[in-house]
């Protein structure tokens, strides 16, 4: 566990449209998915991330240059 994985998780939530959509639908399951692929997050960090407001994440994402966004195409496989 390290602060860098918290920062990576937040970065993915902001730059990955599909992940952000899944997080809005089920934050806990989405975060468990990140842990399953190697993110080292403590229970405290998972709780803190789970209460992030998906609307605020989306608002922040919309402020970023599209070139650093991962867009999910309709009908495409989830990432």
- The beta strand positions in the chain, using DSSP E, are none
pLDDT score of 72: 66
Local confidence pLDDT in tens for the 79 residues of the chain: 579 999 999 999 999 999 999 999 999 999 999 999 999 999 999 999 999 999 999 999 999 887 777 766 566 555 4
What are 70's strand-pairing partners? 16
pLDDT score of 76: 59
What's the predicted TM-score (pTM) here?
A: 0.82
Q: Where are the domains of the chain?
A: 3-65
pLDDT score of 56: 97
């Amino acid at each position: 566990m390290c602060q860098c994985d918290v920062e990576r998780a937040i970065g993915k939530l902001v730059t990955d449209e599909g992940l952000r959509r899944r997080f809005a639908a089920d934050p806990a399951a989405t975060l468990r998915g990140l842990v399953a692929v190697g993110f080292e997050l403590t229970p405290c960090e998972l709780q803190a991330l789970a209460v992030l407001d998906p609307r605020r994440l989306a608002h922040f994402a919309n402020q970023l240059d599209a070139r650093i966004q991962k867009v999910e195409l309709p009908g495409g496989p989830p990432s």
